[in-house]
Amino acid sequence: MSARSVDARARPSVDPLVSTYELSFLEIGLAGGIPWSVTVTWSNGTATGTNTTNRTNPTNESNITFLLADGVYEYTVHNVTDYTSSPASGSITVNGTNLNLTITFGQKVEFFESGLPKDLTWSVEIGNLTETNRSTSGGGGILFVEPDGVYKYAVSSVSNGTFHIRVPSPAAGNVSVAGTNTFVTVGITYALETAYSVMFVASHLPPFMSWSVQSGLLNRTNSTLLLGHSNRTSRGDIQFSEPAGTMSFSISTPRADGYGVAKLVGANHPNLTSGDISGNTTWTVDFGALFNLSFNMSGLPQYELYPNASWGVTLTPSTTGEGPSTYNDSNNTTHNFTLPAGVAYRFTITGPSSYKILPSSGSVTMPDRNLNKTVRFKLIGEPIVFVEHGLDRGLNWTVTITTGTTEVYSFPLAMSRHGSGPLRFELPVGNYTYSISSSGNQTATPATGAITVHTAPSAARSIAITFS
């Protein structure tokens, strides 16, 4: 349904010629055919807009649009039976541009905690929305409003002094919302565990460059300072307090500044996404300047793939703690990767089974420069040579491979020659039929035939053709 506009320009304190902008409230979550409304209030007036949902097209959203001059406005979303709205009210500033505000209609999903001392902050994330609360003596709650659906959630751990941490159970899970006038509750129990210091230390980053580490709902950022300082903080270290067990995390790569993570080294052999904690732990994040690694198909025709053939490159870290596996597959003549200097990879190249790949595998350590590697594809085939006898002078003759089971060629595949001389084909393993013709009235013997290639011998196979 199209938006209904409410003209709020004609309020007494505003010149009728003043510029106005659209403030649109966008609805999601209501079933079809349900009216809803919003009231906008300013210092000396109000305006109310109403619309009705239309779900003939599931992607339709109904909206309510006001035309407003610059200023600060209060809004209230009116109650809809069996639904809760979020946000239900608030303040918004119009300042020289159109604005959109999404109103979610759905059911309440509330998380309740137990086990936290009073006044500790905890948080829950659903989708891209994170809400926080402070614990109370009776247990604190965190409320979401969600339409029908199944949602993943994550709950934060809570530091409790230098040497202890409160760990939630469950720490993550799914919550299902279905129907109207429902209230979903999830109980979270916190338990006290010994906490250990986990220090991430930046290495090989230039001064004043920002980087970050995220673990669970905690995202911590720091910046490197001047090189050569002995103070740990001056290197831009990032510290967490974690219980014993496996810690999952992600390390930002300041790729916009031309740097990426080359490797992570330290106790218990961490990789780039997790590591085991059994005591106070220090891990060094080794950054490197980014360069291009290119795998290029040979430009020589005898070492190229047939048209539109697909080939791929897989990169696998040489040791634990180095870059993640990367795969690139297409029918391009070049595959490009952007990698930090210092990272070591094993590579594997794949392509059609009809070709021998040179090299098919190997290893590479990124230098402080761009690196190019050439890949050759050699057709694994048997040379089939057609040799003619008796062709009249001045005539053309043609060999046509009429059908085949190989993906290398499109059939029919024809080759012609003016006058005497052989015609040579390179055929991969498969089954083929051929036919012979000439530009005159002579008859070829044999005129047709079959060829089966089981392997790829080095010697050519000759087929004699007699014209009469």
Can you spell out the DSSP letters for 70-126?
SEEEEEEEPP-TT-EEES-EEEEEE-SS-EEEEEEEEEEEEEEEESPPTT-EEEEEE
Count how many domains the chain has.
Answer: 5
Q: How many CB atoms lie within 10 A of CB 404?
A: 21
Please indicate, yes or no, whether residues 363 and 439 belong to a single structural domain of this protein: no
Number of residues that this document lists for the chain = 468
What confidence score (pLDDT) does residue 456 get? 64
What does the alpha-carbon distance between residue 436 and residue 281 come to, in Å, rounded to a whole number?
Answer: 77
Please indicate, yes or no, whether residues 296 and 272 belong to a single structural domain of this protein: no
Please indicate, yes or no, whether residues 81 and 143 belong to a single structural domain of this protein: no
Would residue 40 count as lying in a domain? Answer: yes
Would residue 463 count as lying in a domain? Answer: yes
SS3 257: helix
Burial 274-298 (b: 16+ CB within 10 A, else e): ebebeeebebbbbbbbbbebebebb
Instruction: Please give the biggest Cα pair distance in the chain.
Output: 107
Please indicate, yes or no, whether residues 176 and 205 belong to a single structural domain of this protein: no
Among the three residues 379, 400, 423, which one is the final residue of a domain in this structure? Answer: 379
Please indicate, yes or no, whether residues 219 and 136 belong to a single structural domain of this protein: no
SS3 content of the chain, % helix, strand, coil (to 5): 0, 60, 40
Contacting residues for 231 by C-beta, under 8 A, at least 6 apart = none
Please indicate, yes or no, whether residues 205 and 130 belong to a single structural domain of this protein: no
What confidence score (pLDDT) does residue 19 get? 86
Tens-level pLDDT at each residue, the chain (468 residues): 334 444 443 343 445 667 889 999 998 888 888 889 999 988 767 777 677 765 444 444 578 888 888 889 999 999 998 899 999 999 999 999 999 999 999 999 999 998 888 888 899 999 888 888 888 765 678 999 998 889 999 998 887 666 778 889 999 999 999 877 788 999 999 998 888 889 999 888 888 788 888 887 777 777 665 433 333 333 578 888 888 899 999 888 766 678 888 889 898 889 888 999 999 999 999 888 999 999 999 988 778 888 778 899 999 888 777 777 777 777 788 999 988 898 889 999 999 888 889 999 999 999 999 999 999 998 888 889 999 999 998 899 999 999 888 878 888 889 998 877 899 988 888 899 999 999 888 999 999 999 998 876 667 899 999 998
Q: What is the dihedral of CA 171, 174, 177, 183, to 10 degrees?
A: -20
Q: How many CB atoms lie within 10 A of CB 119?
A: 10
Please indicate, yes or no, whether residues 309 and 368 belong to a single structural domain of this protein: yes
Would residue 103 count as lying in a domain? Answer: no
352: cis peptide before it, omega within 30°?
A: no
Among the three residues 258, 289, 320, which one is the final residue of a domain in this structure? Answer: 289
Please indicate, yes or no, whether residues 296 and 270 belong to a single structural domain of this protein: no
What confidence score (pLDDT) does residue 398 get? 94
Do residues 263 and 286 touch, judged by C-beta distance below 8 A? yes
- C-alpha angle 240-322-363 in degrees, rounded to nearest 5: 175
- Of the candidates 311, 316, 308, 253, the residue with the CA atom closest to the CA atom of residue 286: 253
What does the alpha-carbon distance between residue 248 and residue 361 come to, in Å, rounded to a whole number?
Answer: 31
Please indicate, yes or no, whether residues 189 and 132 belong to a single structural domain of this protein: yes
What confidence score (pLDDT) does residue 10 get? 33
Would residue 334 count as lying in a domain? Answer: yes
Would residue 127 count as lying in a domain? Answer: yes
Among the three residues 222, 254, 289, which one is the final residue of a domain in this structure? Answer: 289
Please indicate, yes or no, whether residues 297 and 373 belong to a single structural domain of this protein: yes
Contacting residues for 233 by C-beta, under 8 A, at least 6 apart = none
Would residue 102 count as lying in a domain? Answer: no
Please indicate, yes or no, whether residues 51 and 87 belong to a single structural domain of this protein: yes
- Domain of residue 349, CATH code: 2.60.40.10
What does the alpha-carbon distance between residue 425 and residue 33 come to, in Å, rounded to a whole number?
Answer: 70
Please indicate, yes or no, whether residues 326 and 350 belong to a single structural domain of this protein: yes
Following DSSP, what letter does each residue of 292-312 receive, concatenated? EEEEEE-SSGGGSPPTT--EE
What confidence score (pLDDT) does residue 94 get? 92
Domain range holding 50? Answer: 4-97
446: cis peptide before it, omega within 30°?
A: yes
Q: Is 29 left (phi over 0), alpha (psi -120 to 50) or beta?
A: left
Contacting residues for 184 by C-beta, under 8 A, at least 6 apart = 107, 108, 109, 110, 175, 176, 177
Would residue 260 count as lying in a domain? Answer: yes
Taking each continuous run of H as one helix and of E as one strand, the counts in the chain are 0, 41
- Domain of residue 276, CATH code: 2.60.40
